[in-house]
């Protein structure tokens, strides 16, 4: 069984049962475990007529390898595999209020999972990233995202620069985060069709991605000077930018 077909950990399995139980095929729980949350997961799964088995710790480790399973794993069939051809329909369905998170080459699965979790909480239209030279949605991403990886539109694309240009043709404004930019994120109007573009952990935005942004902006960091902190972690930056858009969109129109 491919590791990609399993999710591991109490939060990840709980989220799958709560938000997408129809795609949970089986739950494996460590035999003899007394954790009340594991008991709750078992009860919830049985109530939903999902197969539950108590197994040895070695069996759990054999399924998910080095992932920290916390005594529970679930065999999972993802709710939907999104295709890049569906992106236009998602933007049009948002009726002028599409909010897109575009990740240019994120490498760490924990960072991608955290970005997806923030994106789901912010109600994004889609998360977009390249199919190559970037981490894809795997078991670690699913666990870190606490179910978000399968509750929102996550769209790997063949050519990120081309996708960005296509989005602009659909009326989406693309704002790329760059530490050297002079314009503050907080000076933007993020209430319309907006794509927020963030680069990789080490190198930031690639040249073509920068060139295809309508504007480069920065997150003001008044405490950075002299502190040795040059930039925010990509998942933190994603949370900051997404929820600035959420804040603006929740304000009454004057």
* Same domain, residue pair 66 and 117: no
Domain boundary among 45, 76, 107: 76
Known binding-site positions? 199, 219, 232
* CB atoms near residue 110 (< 10 Å): 16
3-state helix, strand and coil shares in percent for the chain, rounded to the nearest 5: 40, 20, 35
* Same domain, residue pair 109 and 218: yes
Count of CA atoms in the C-beta half-sphere (13 A) of 208: 10
In angstroms, rounded to a whole number, what is the distance separating the alpha carbons of residues 222 and 220? Answer: 6
pLDDT digits (tens, 9 = 90+) for 173-201: 999 999 889 999 999 999 999 999 999 88
- Which of 52, 139, 103, 62 minimizes the C-alpha distance to 233? 103
pLDDT digits (tens, 9 = 90+) for 83-95: 999 999 999 999 9
In angstroms, rounded to a whole number, what is the distance separating the alpha carbons of residues 202 and 146? Answer: 25
- Which of 30, 34, 70, 33 minimizes the C-alpha distance to 54? 30
* Same domain, residue pair 178 and 61: no
> Is it the case that residue 231 has pLDDT exceeding 80?
no
* Same domain, residue pair 72 and 89: no
Span of 84-88, 95-99, 117-121, 135-139 with lowest mean pLDDT:
135-139
* Same domain, residue pair 31 and 145: no
Number of domains in the chain: 2
Known binding-site positions for S-adenosyl-L-methionine? 199, 219, 232
> Is it the case that residue 226 has pLDDT exceeding 70?
no
* CB atoms near residue 253 (< 10 Å): 5
Domain boundary among 34, 57, 76: 76
CATH of residue 7's domain is 3.30.1330.30
> Is it the case that residue 1 has pLDDT exceeding 50?
no
Question: Containing H/E element for 118?
Answer: helix 109-122
User: How far does Cα 171 stand from its chain's mean position?
Assistant: 23
Task: Answer yes or no: are the C-beta atoms of 140 and 113 closer than 8 Å.
Answer: yes
* Same domain, residue pair 135 and 208: yes
2 pLDDT tier (thresholds 50, 70, 90): very low
Angstrom CA distances, 127 to 30, 88, 199, 249, stand at 34, 13, 13, 18
Domain boundary among 76, 96, 114: 76
CATH of residue 236's domain is 3.40.1280.10
Domain span at 53: 3-76
* Same domain, residue pair 221 and 96: yes
In angstroms, rounded to a whole number, what is the distance separating the alpha carbons of residues 13 and 233? Answer: 26
* Same domain, residue pair 228 and 138: yes
User: How far does Cα 91 stand from its chain's mean position?
Assistant: 18
* Same domain, residue pair 216 and 154: yes
* Same domain, residue pair 63 and 144: no
> DSSP per residue over 164-176, as a string?
HHHHHHTT-EEEE
* Same domain, residue pair 30 and 142: no
- Which of 80, 93, 111 minimizes the C-alpha distance to 101? 111
The angle that helices 234-250 and 109-122 make with each other, rounded to 10 degrees, is 10
> Is it the case that residue 153 has pLDDT exceeding 50?
yes
* Same domain, residue pair 46 and 106: no
């Amino acid at each position: 069984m491919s590791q990609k077909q399993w999710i591991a950990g109490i939060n990840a399995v709980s989220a799958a049962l709560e938000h997408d139980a129809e795609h949970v095929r089986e739950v494996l729980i460590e035999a003899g475990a007394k954790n009340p949350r594991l008991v709750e997961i078992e009860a919830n799964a049985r109530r939903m007529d999902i197969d539950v088995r108590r197994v040895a710790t070695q069996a759990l480790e054999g399924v998910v390898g080095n992932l920290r399973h916390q005594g529970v794993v679930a065999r999972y069939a993802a709710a939907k595999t999104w295709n890049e051809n569906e992106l236009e329909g998602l933007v049009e369905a948002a009726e002028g209020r599409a909010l897109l998170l575009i990740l240019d080459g994120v490498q760490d699965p924990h960072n991608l999972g955290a970005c997806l979790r923030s994106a789901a909480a912010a109600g994004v239209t889609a998360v977009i990233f390249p199919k190559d030279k970037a981490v894809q949605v795997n078991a670690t991403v699913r666990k870190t995202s606490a179910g978000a990886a399968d509750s929102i539109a996550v769209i790997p694309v063949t050519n990120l620069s081309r996708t960005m240009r296509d989005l602009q043709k659909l009326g989406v404004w693309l704002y790329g985060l760059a530490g050297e930019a002079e314009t503050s994120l907080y000076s933007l109007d993020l209430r319309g069709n907006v794509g927020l573009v963030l680069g990789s952990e080490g190198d930031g935005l690639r040249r073509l991605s920068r060139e295809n942004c309508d504007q480069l902006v920065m997150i003001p960091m008044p405490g950075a000077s002299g502190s040795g902190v040059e930039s925010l972690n990509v998942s933190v930056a994603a949370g900051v930018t997404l929820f600035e858009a959420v804040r603006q969109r929740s304000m009454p129109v004057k």
